[in-house]
Structure 1
Amino acid sequence: MSAKRVIVCGGNGFLGSRICKHAIARGWDVTSISRSGEPKWNTVTSSATPPPWAHKVSWERGDILRPATYAPLLKGADCVVHSMGILLEADYKGVLQGQVSPIAGMRKAFTSAPQPGNPLERNVAGGEEDIRPRETRDQLTYENMNRDSAIMLAKEASREGVGAFVFVSAAGGAPVLPTRYITTKRQAESTIASEFPRMRGVFFRPPFLYDSSRPITVPMAAMTGAGAAFNGLTGGLFGNFMGAAAVKPLKADVVAEAVVEALGDETVKGPVEVPEIEELANKSWRKNML
């Protein structure tokens, strides 16, 4: 039996790099696609030195907002993973160039802005076209990053006959985030499931992720865990308001291992909530112990 060929879009990120690691551990052929190629390792692990498994990954460059830059890399893939997104919107060019303050850039997330519809409805071409409409060309929005990039990646994957597509969604929003953060995630899930039914769609809904290699995430996870405990004690009364802040946090490696287990299990499809994520990770752990 030949090894699976897995494409991880966002494979150089906090979660994506760990998905690559666990897929490599299974002997699979893994390609990461991101704008910068190989990770800056000190941003995703506790060391600036590449880990031993890293040389087995093909670190490719591509722009998730320009399908033509990554579409050729999907040929022959068995599984594709979308592990990208933003928590807050920003006028990234203005911020980087010093023309807009970070606070002003993020403030755009909470103000009325053009909200283009589904890129499939806008007949976005698969050529050199950027999936962002002209009026949001310099803006990273929930629509283009959390929704449209996933839909267009799924479209290209389906065209190549990919068997399984994993979209890393989210357990919920939070009081500090605009509601569009989570609604665009859910819109992506719904569109991918309805428009590409021949491809097994798996929609992971992880909570807050933490790891000791990112020290700041540990106390934040403790705070989130306290919120989850409080929500449990109140019978889930504040669950809708608190969103992901009311859900037990998980270690990033647990979610990554669960994603890889789901790729190999054809019975897994549709939304995957936190309890199922933990079950999949435990199933993978037991396999590795045998």
Structure 2
Amino acid sequence: MSKIVVLGGAGFLGKRICQAGVNAGFQVTSLTRSGKPPRGVTHHDAHWLTKVQWQSADLFDPSSYKHHLVDAHTVVHSVGILLENQNYKTAVNSNSSVLSEFVNFVKPSNPLAKIPRNTYTEVNRDSALLLAETYVAETKVDSPSFVYISADRGFPGLPSGYITSKREAEVELSLLKGLKCLFARPGFMFDEDVHDDTMRETIHKFVDALDWGNKTLLGSRIPVLNDLVRPTISTQRVAHEIVDSIQNNRFNGVLSLDEMLHK
């Protein structure tokens, strides 16, 4: 049985990659700070949660996870930050007042109180390079492969450092010798099994409405608008396409949002 190691396997997308891996017959190990299964999942998830090896690891300390990489056929980096402001993850998944949470979401963080190792460069780029380099040094398998969760593109109002750090990571990872890399580029993601009244769900509906209007009313005839308004995609869909690529050895660079949506 081939082994997949997912760094960030209890996260919003990471847990669905673990699920898809288990369903496809892989041995799956999740590496997170706590080493615990994700919270807030549905009762439908019980069948696969027990089949994942939930292990603790320090993102920036290879000694805490390198032994898990030795026999891994594929390693997935599913860790990243959208904003350097720590409020955003809580705000996006909160079901309190959308307006108040949106204020917290966009409010810039105090640079004097910035948490160490919480910048785009460190989390989105450097941690991926550290993981990949450690994997190359430790692996004993033939043709090891690496999946990096990148992004379709930036969003209006989002700091340029976000997409810059993603693209820099792609370039640096592609230069590593002896490693096949796949760069998955999803857009705004939602979970098919979660329908709570959260800010994430509000954004999901809003973006879908914009995309529908652009395609149906405007016929996608305005290039600038096409670049700004992009379709959403479920975490289940992204995870399925990633695992499908792993199964079929389709590690040929970029797995775009459009490819994932239209396969």
Q: What's the offset of the Cα at 1:33?
A: 0.2
Deviation track 1:70-111 (CA, whole Å, cap 9, x = no partner) reads 11211111000001101111379xxxxxxxxx96996248x7
Distance in 2 between residues matched to 1:18 and 1:270, nearest whole Å: 21
Cα RMSD of the aligned pairs, angstroms, is 2.7
Partner residue, 2:156: 175
Is 2:242 aligned against 1:259?
yes
Q: % of aligned pairs identical?
A: 31
Q: Per the alignment, in what secondary structure is the counterpart of residue 41 of structure 1?
A: coil
Partner residue, 1:248: 231
Q: Per the alignment, in what secondary structure is the counterpart of residue 194 of structure 2?
A: coil
Residue 183 of structure 2, aligned match among 175, 194, 203: 203
In the alignment, is the contact (CA less than 8 A) between 2:11 and 2:38 conserved in 1?
A: no
Distance in 2 between residues matched to 1:105 and 1:226, nearest whole Å: 21
Q: What's the offset of the Cα at 1:141?
A: 0.5
- Unmatched tracts of structure 1, length 5 or more: 93-101, 114-135, 283-290
Q: Which residue identity lines up with residue 86 of structure 1 in the other structure?
A: I
Q: Which residue identity lines up with residue 25 of structure 2 in the other structure?
A: G
Distance in 2 between residues matched to 1:182 and 1:198, nearest whole Å: 26
Q: What's the offset of the Cα at 1:219?
A: 3.1
- Unmatched tracts of structure 2, length 5 or more: 88-102
Distance 1:104 1:40, change over 3 A: closer
Q: Per the alignment, in what secondary structure is the counterpart of residue 257 of structure 1?
A: helix
Is 2:216 aligned against 1:235?
no
Q: Which residue identity lines up with residue 72 of structure 1 in the other structure?
A: H
Q: What's the offset of the Cα at 1:37?
A: 1.2
Q: How many residues align?
A: 238
Distance 1:76 1:228, change over 3 A: same
Q: Which residue identity lines up with residue 187 of structure 1 in the other structure?
A: E
In the alignment, is the contact (CA less than 8 A) between 1:41 and 1:50 conserved in 2?
A: no
Distance in 2 between residues matched to 1:26 and 1:84, nearest whole Å: 22
Partner residue, 2:108: 107
Distance in 2 between residues matched to 1:89 and 1:103, nearest whole Å: 12
Is 2:60 aligned against 1:60?
no
Residue 213 of structure 1, aligned match among 190, 194, 199: 194
Distance 1:139 1:148, change over 3 A: closer
Distance in 2 between residues matched to 1:206 and 1:6, nearest whole Å: 20
Q: What's the offset of the Cα at 1:146?
A: 0.6
